[in-house]
Amino acid sequence: MSKPIISPSLLSANFLDLRTDIENINRSEADWLHIDIMDGVFVPNISFGFPVLKYVAESCTKPLDVHLMIVQPEKFINEVKGLGTMMMNVHYETCPHLHRVIQQIKDAGMKAGVTLNPATPVSVLKDIVADLDMVLLMSVNPGFGGQKFIPQTLNKLKDLRELIDATGSHALIEIDGGVNLETGKLLVDAGADVLVAGNAVFKAPDMVDMIHQLKNL
């Protein structure tokens, strides 16, 4: 069995010493850097915008995994691409014309992912999952770091794995929210490909070692 992809979440970083955190990510076994962009409308919080992310992108050597928790994410495809983003991820709940948005992301040269909130069933992706590079399941309600993992995510993950297998999709399964060594092991065993970890990584005494442990679950 292949090792999980680890994507530390920038939302939990120390923004007064961001350079040190990014340098630790660069020298770690982290595969990607997960970036949550929030608008205060779709989620009850505001994170960071493109002026800050420009410098993060210039300093980080890992592929960028950009998660837009915003309404009308298609308006910012060019800005996300401008960061050198590898994966652009939009919420199912904010995209009434999801197929069009996925095609626009791919036409811009990025991989395309779709996120589902905890109460959104995986069945809504039946007609689009074959076009996706990744599906992100939120295992907390989006907007804030440090929340407790929702156990139902494990059942949802199994449903998503069945849907992906049944449709011949090659989409990766990413989980975001409350991921630590304990929940991460359960998720990997249940079929998760990518783990997003925020506090578990950035609040650890040794970030690099924690990423190593997550990588070897």
Reported as a single tens digit per residue, the pLDDT across 15-36 is 999 999 999 999 999 999 999 9
pLDDT at 141: 86
Active site residues: 36, 176
pTM (two decimals): 0.95
The confidence band for 174, taking pLDDT boundaries of 50, 70 and 90, is very high
* Predicted pLDDT at 142: 76
Pairwise CA distance, residues 120 & 111, whole Å: 22
Number of domains in the chain: 1
Q: What is the per-residue pLDDT for 86? A: 98
pLDDT of residue 6: 98
The pLDDT of residue 184 is above 90: yes
Q: Which residue, 139, 142, 134, 119, is CA-closest to 169? A: 134
pLDDT at 120 over 90: yes
Cα torsion 36, 39, 44, 46: sign:
positive
Task: Give the 3-state DSSP-derived string for 64-80, with helices as H, strands as E and coil as C.
Answer: EEEEEECCCHHHHHHHH
- Residue range 144-154: average pLDDT? 85
The arithmetic mean of pLDDT across residues 158-182, rounded, is: 97
pLDDT, one tens digit per residue, over 34-53 is 999 999 898 888 888 899 99
Q: Which CATH number is 86's domain given?
A: 3.20.20.70
Instruction: Output the pLDDT for position 1.
Output: 65
Domain residues for the domain of 72 are: 5-215
Written in H, E and C, the secondary structure of the chain is: CCCCEEEEEHHHCCCCCHHHHHHHHHCCCCCCEEEEEEECCCCCCECCCHHHHHHHHHHCCCCEEEEEECCCHHHHHHHHHHCCCCEEEEEHHHCCCHHHHHHHHHHCCCEEEEEECCCCCHHHHCCCHHHCCEEEEECCCCCCCCCCCCCCHHHHHHHHHHHHHHHCCCCEEEEECCCCHHHHHHHHHHCCCEEEECHHHHCCCCHHHHHHHHHCC
Average pLDDT estimate for 151-166: 97
Q: Is pLDDT of 148 > 90? A: no
Q: What is the mean pLDDT of residues 147-168?
A: 95
